[in-house]
Amino acid sequence: MSGRRGAGSPLTAYPLLDWYFGVTFGATLWAMFNHVAPDEGHSPLWATLPLIALACCYLGLGRRLLREDRQGAAGNGYLLLCCLLLASAISLWQTADFLLFALVPLAFLVADRVPAIVATVGMKLFAPLWFATHTAKPVSAFEFFYYYPITILMAVLIGIWLRLMVRRSREHIELAAELARSRERAAELDAALDTAAEQAYEAAESHDTLAQGFAGVVTLTQAAGPELRADPESARSRLRLAAETARERLAEVPAARSDVDEALRQATEQLAAQLMIPVGYRSHGEQGRQSAVTEAVLLRAGRQALADLRWQPAATGIQVDLRFAATAVALEITQRGPDAVDQLTATAEQLRSPLVTTTVLPGAEDTATLRIEVPGCPE
């Protein structure tokens, strides 16, 4: 973990650490001036000077290290500076060691593991050893062999646990970012699949149209052959009919990119011819020129939805509305008849994809509306 600088640090909630440091700093000052009786020969005012310097170091350097999730030489150097300042304050006023409650978590967040453990153990032992050797207050055996070892062990364990939690949070952030990238990639692949499927559909339609036209042309030209000498006028008539048939079939071949409005209108007319029930079609708004992905996705979803309606014998009427907006293109299919909601819900489940939003809106008198929405992307 040495020398690392993370882009997606889990410590973006560093204002909480600011509050924690501020509360601990204020409690330390309060304890120094009010709670504990003054030591002989010293004043707590002098001990506040290194504490204020430590607070300035935190505001100027510590917060930046936390925010940047930086460990290594910079974090170790910051921790050493904090230990020296806190040791100076403790040597002047023992109660200043209360600030260790703030320093220990920071040590494990900004420094490497071994320096953090060494600093925690050293600072916890500094106060009793200093005052045992420089004042007349001896350290009892209970404090030295029981109280201080327990507090040191708890501080180290809490620091290591905090470090592990930060590492796991960082891993969760990286996994979430990877998942988001995977979803974006899946959406791109789905759009490419829709585009390829629409192009394949148009290619098949063009193939069928041209095959029928060529078959008619071949039949007419073959019939005109024997009549070239016997009945030239009849032969010319057949050849004119063959040319007209070829022109009509070529005109029916769809362009490289279909017009969304016209393509869905034709699909609706085919549906009306098959079902023999009232089927209406309306277009709302200005179409503009949508991207190939938007057109392909909408055409594929619309054609699939209209194809599913062919197997709805209970339908008594269908209304298709194509709506163009600045941010999306929507196709609304309103069905009248029993079980309209259930039937359109089943269709909506089949159409749902990362690029298609489907909604079924129940209506009055056995009617329901399936709304198919695709984000608009004008060229």
Task: Please identify, in words, the CATH class of the domain defined by 260-375.
Answer: alpha beta
Q: H helices of 225-290, where?
A: 227-230, 232-252, 260-275
Strand partners, 215: none
Q: Tell me, yes or no, if the pTM score tops 0.75.
A: no
| pLDDT tens digits, 115-173 | 888 888 888 888 777 777 776 666 666 666 777 788 888 888 888 888 888 788 878 88
Structure token digits, residue 291: 């991207």
CA distance linking residue 192 with residue 205, whole number of Å: 20
Is the separation of the CB atoms in 305 and 316 below 8 Å? no
CA distance linking residue 223 with residue 212, whole number of Å: 17
For 2, phi then psi, to 5°, come to -75, 135
Residue reference for tokens 């069905």: 335
- Directed axis angle between helix 113-134 and helix 100-110, to 10°? 150
- Directed axis angle between helix 113-134 and helix 73-92, to 10°? 10
| pLDDT tens digits, 229-288 | 777 777 778 777 777 776 666 555 554 344 677 878 888 888 888 877 888 898 887 766
Sketch the domain layout of the chain as residue ranges: 10-139, 184-252, 260-375
* pLDDT: which is higher, 311 or 104: 104
